[in-house]
């Protein structure tokens, strides 16, 4: 069990479940002399409700690790337990159900449908989820209650990314995986996106992973994991989470 530093916000640090237990996870692309070892044996325990930031240079294995956690890719060896389910044992249907029920994704590019409004983009997900939020509620959580009937082309980059976040959380996932969510945004806009992620983590307890190259972002996390050459080279816990609106880069 990892110490959760966001005590001031949740006060629920006492008995958190381990949401992910990762053991000796490896991922190799190709074979023989041309093989690329993206992950070389990663061990990590993650408690539910934590805010994780993954740092590391390009090619260090962050995105590969996140893709395996999200069921988008398969490990070459090792185990990745999501609660009691070993993701590495699931077939394609099992992974699809896992992604649909438990995981929300946010990518650097928003992947919104241009001909649908913000509300309709979120509705795409709520229609296929078992216990979704109302799309308006999800958009309100990311501060877009006044922009729900706007099309993506009428929204700024930060607003579009927040629609993407609303779309990801509308199905109430247990975990939210964000790969460079602020990579295409300026500082002021990026901070608002991070604030939306922080709010989701605090208010509905979703475990959040954020991949970033921006070390400043690490200050808003409970735990920071530094990747290098396919391995975790450092892991630290912040004594206190810094509010995203106070971050500057």
Partner 1 sequence: MRLSPLTIKLLRDVWRLRAQAVAIALVIAAGVGMVIMSFGMIRSLEATRASYYDIYRFADVFAPIRRAPLSAIATVRQIPGVAYAEGRVSAGAILDVPGIAEPVSARVHSLPDPKGLNLLVLREGRLPNPGATDEVVANEAFAKAARLSPGDRFSALIYGKRIDLRLTGTVLSPEYVYAVAPGRSSRTTAATA
Q: Could you say which residues in the range 85-124 bind partner 1, by CB under 8 A?
A: 113, 115-116, 120-121, 123-124
Count, residues near partner 1 per rule CB under 8 A: 8
Cβ 175 to partner 1, closest distance in Å? 24
Cβ 122 to partner 1, closest distance in Å? 9
Q: What is the dihedral of CA 187, 163, 175, 99, to 10 degrees?
A: -130
In the complex with partner 1, which residue's Cβ is closer, 113 or 215?
A: 113
Under a CB-based contact definition with an 8 Å cutoff, are residues 118 and 165 in contact?
no
In the complex with partner 1, which residue's Cβ is closer, 15 or 128?
A: 128
How far is residue 159's CA from residue 189's CA, in Å, rounded to a whole number? 8
Classify the phi-psi angles of 32: left when phi > 0, otherwise alpha if psi is within -120 to 50, otherwise beta: left
Q: Could you say which residues in the range 121-140 bind partner 1, by CB under 8 A?
A: 121, 123-124, 127
Cβ 164 to partner 1, closest distance in Å? 15
Q: How far is CA 154 from CA 26, 159, 161, in A?
A: 43, 9, 13
In the complex with partner 1, which residue's Cβ is closer, 116 or 140?
A: 116
Q: How far is CA 173 from CA 25, 57, 95, 193, in A?
A: 23, 28, 14, 18
Cβ 69 to partner 1, closest distance in Å? 28
Q: How far is CA 206 from CA 87, 150, 216, in A?
A: 19, 27, 22
Residue whose pair of structure tokens reads 């996932």 in the numeric block: 173
In the complex with partner 1, which residue's Cβ is closer, 116 or 204?
A: 116
Asked if residue 161 binds partner 1 (CB under 8 A), the reply is no
What are φ and ψ of residue 113, in 5° steps? -85, 120
In the complex with partner 1, which residue's Cβ is closer, 137 or 219?
A: 137
In the complex with partner 1, which residue's Cβ is closer, 14 or 128?
A: 128
Cβ 222 to partner 1, closest distance in Å? 35
Cβ 132 to partner 1, closest distance in Å? 13
How far is residue 9's CA from residue 44's CA, in Å, rounded to a whole number? 24
Residue whose pair of structure tokens reads 């939020």 in the numeric block: 133
- Which chain residues interact with partner 1 by CB under 8 A? 113, 115-116, 120-121, 123-124, 127
């Amino acid at each position: 069990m990892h110490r959760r530093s966001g005590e001031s916000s949740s006060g629920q640090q006492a008995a958190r479940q381990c949401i992910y237990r990762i053991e000796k996870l490896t991922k190799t692309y190709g074979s023989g002399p041309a093989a690329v070892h993206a992950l070389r044996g990663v061990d990590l325990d993650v408690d539910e409700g934590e805010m994780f930031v993954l740092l590391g240079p390009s090619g260090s294995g962050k995105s590969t690790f996140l893709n395996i956690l999200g069921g988008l890719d398969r490990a070459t060896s090792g185990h990745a337990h999501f609660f009691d389910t070993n993701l590495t044992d699931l077939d394609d249907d099992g992974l699809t159900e896992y992604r649909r029920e438990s995981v929300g994704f946010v990518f650097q590019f928003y992947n919104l449908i241009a001909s649908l409004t913000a509300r309709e983009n979120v509705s795409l997900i709520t229609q296929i989820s078992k216990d979704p939020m109302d799309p308006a509620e999800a958009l309100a959580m990311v501060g877009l209650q006044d922009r729900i009937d706007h099309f993506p082309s009428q929204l700024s980059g930060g607003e579009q990314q927040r629609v993407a976040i609303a779309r990801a959380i509308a199905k109430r996932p247990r975990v939210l995986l964000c790969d460079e969510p602020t990579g295409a945004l300026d500082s002021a806009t990026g901070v608002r996106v991070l604030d939306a992620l922080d709010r989701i983590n605090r208010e509905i307890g979703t475990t959040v992973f954020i991949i970033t190259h921006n070390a400043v972002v690490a200050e808003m996390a409970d735990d920071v994991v530094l990747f290098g050459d396919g391995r975790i080279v450092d892991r630290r816990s912040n004594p206190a989470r810094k509010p995203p609106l106070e971050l500057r880069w």
